[in-house]
Structure 1
């Protein structure tokens, strides 16, 4: 898409750079900059983010890998306060392993996507490393989204981004598994198929190793590709530009770690406010919390972007710790991604994602109104169980508490809360020989606790940075008893660790069920934006 930008005058102050907009239309409502935001913008694993503005709203999408529904969509009126408005992929329809039949797809599924609006439709392009590059479309951001169409079939492709030029011609740029080179295709005008075998337009393994995640833009007659290089934990952000879409492209590093502790700041999208103020959203890899989201101010100098905090004349900036809010003329927003749930609605709230495609015959919000009922399937452990329900951590430190009704438990059943990752741990009630016992499990150990004689129990996990601890209450939450030691948690399958609800059975699961009354999420951090 063609983009125009206003001209900005910048001054370096003692604390931050301050934008001074010079070209706002005379008849526009005066934009406001109220307050200062602090990075990270979202302390949550919205990995490989892309962002657009449609009218007065901003929309952000992220990679979702094996989690279902996939392709979460967040909305913001001001680039600062975000909420989840849905998902673009209700199931991953690419083979039985996504149903955990004959294997699993942990770490596969939906990788880095891109979102654009063109000719009255929203387009989301996404790759799966084993099946190809796909597109789904919708007239409204909340859907319904079309069944994914294979734009290019076959394994080994990643990170697609479309582009429609002023002459109506459509293009697709993408990388390959392992990152680099960048390949350009002509596309059909409807964006649903490619018209050629593709042409390598950027290959520079010495200067730009691990080049991936390209995002295409056009401004002042230049074609721009914003792309990360150097790897998730240590890389930087580069911008390539050319007068011809086919290249050759020159490049410049525009965002790097600098003197900050934000390692590998890169991979994201460029967006402008309605009055032309430029911003860049990207991720930073933060241990067990995954790839969390940062917002950087951006300016143009000599038709090159400079991102983040940079002295006059510098080509590359570094991530900002805080900055004045983007220009925004609307009412103040205090929205945030959803977390707690009373399970009182007829559909799951949008923060929830299953560990793979769910078996919809084994969960219900209507069998007992006001409760989430999970009906176990046979499995040997948590990582081989279906219908584990997860949500992302939204804070560095948090508490996640669930009230579990045990009246439907049967012999062989396990039910409880967990941190889902490759070394999963959790606190569960296990029924064997008609008796219920509270146990704490890790990857290598199971610790048996007290007998559970009541009908209900409250289970709690507390995350502090990259550790989790567990506790429980048998007196309706009046007091909680710690259980076990603090346990490390880890970044797994390219995603952050996740609080989860689960049940499975090592025996005959017929007739059993676990009823979750509610989940209460409590941030232990101070608000980043209020």
Structure 2
């Protein structure tokens, strides 16, 4: 979070073997505390960011809220190319999930308990409009990840706890909702012995049509370890995670 350069990028061809290829944020230029000039910014910086590729402009976008006050956007022509700060939005997109929709419009889902969606400008660098699309009736939620599939829009969210729960918000009428909620799972076990439950995950699809849920487990003091599980879809367009031996 507080390390510079920040927002490391890893690349994989099989979702199992990963290599470091660069950093989305070449320098944490977010204030004097990040340079230990009259203060410090320990455990601040790049929380819960989102990375997306926009084919129409051959551009990679990285976005995150910094210091719970402003949202920074960095762009690059390739993940291993030079990244540069492209814009700052003067509000916090907390735990943001970026989406490039099928019609090439860019959206961001974010927030805690009340989940917002913002439409971004044609260049993806400023906010056009924003609204609350879901007011939680399951308690505190966060960690938005935003997707579109077969004309439906999905926001994955996390309900922290012990154990934690993952939920899916689904809209069949567009990115602005209305959204309905369904539990994806609660207490997915401990796929890595001695570690916590999988949480704050996202969905990945492969070129050959396979779908997976990828999350992380807390592995103190080693950090966070990524975990993977097969994911399927039912006839109503709801995803389900296929756990192996209960985890």
TM-score by length of 2: 0.89
Q: What is the rounded CA distance, in whole Å, between the counterparts of 1:134 and 1:191 in structure 2? A: 12
CA contact (8 A) 2:190 2:198 kept: no
2:25 to 65, 89, 113: 89
2:214 to 249, 264, 281: 281
The residue number in structure 1 matching 2:101 is 165
The residue number in structure 1 matching 2:83 is 145
Q: What is the rounded CA distance, in whole Å, between the counterparts of 1:258 and 1:134 in structure 2? A: 33
Cα deviation for residue 96 of structure 1 reads: 0.5
* Change in 2 beyond 3 A, CA 1:275/1:211: same
Which structure has more strand as a fraction of its residues? 2
* Change in 2 beyond 3 A, CA 1:164/1:108: same
The residue number in structure 2 matching 1:248 is 178
Of structures 1 and 2, the one scoring higher in RCO (CA 8 A, sep 6+) is: 1
Cα deviation for residue 234 of structure 1 reads: 3.2
User: Per-residue displacement from partner, 1:56-104 (whole Å, max 9, x unpaired)?
Assistant: xxxxxxxxx1111101011111111111111111111111100011111
Q: What is the rounded CA distance, in whole Å, between the counterparts of 1:114 and 1:153 in structure 2? A: 18
Q: What is the rounded CA distance, in whole Å, between the counterparts of 1:96 and 1:158 in structure 2? A: 22
What's the secondary structure of 2:33's corresponding residue? helix
The residue number in structure 2 matching 1:16 is none
TM-score by length of 1: 0.43
CA contact (8 A) 1:88 1:143 kept: no
The residue number in structure 1 matching 2:8 is 72
CA contact (8 A) 1:215 1:227 kept: yes
Cα deviation for residue 157 of structure 1 reads: 4.0
1:126 maps to 2:56: no
Moved over 3 A (4+): 258-264
Q: What is the rounded CA distance, in whole Å, between the counterparts of 1:273 and 1:167 in structure 2? A: 21
What's the secondary structure of 2:128's corresponding residue? coil
User: Per-residue displacement from partner, 1:276-312 (whole Å, max 9, x unpaired)?
Assistant: 00012101122222322111111112211111317xx
Unaligned runs of 5+ in 1: 1-64, 311-316, 320-530
What's the secondary structure of 1:268's corresponding residue? strand
CA contact (8 A) 1:137 1:146 kept: yes
Instruction: State the aligned residue count.
Output: 240
- For the pair shown, the structure with the greater C-alpha radius of gyration is 1
The residue number in structure 2 matching 1:308 is 242
Unaligned runs of 5+ in 2: none
CA contact (8 A) 2:214 2:228 kept: yes
Equivalent residues in 2 for 1:503-518, closer than 5 Å = none
* Change in 2 beyond 3 A, CA 1:147/1:210: same
The residue number in structure 1 matching 2:199 is 266
Equivalent residues in 2 for 1:180-329, closer than 5 Å = 180-196=113-129, 198-204=130-136, 206-207=137-138, 209-231=139-161, 234-244=163-173, 245-258=175-188, 260=190, 263-302=196-235, 303-309=237-243, 318-319=246-247
Q: What is the rounded CA distance, in whole Å, between the counterparts of 2:209 and 2:147 in structure 1? A: 15
Cα deviation for residue 260 of structure 1 reads: 4.3
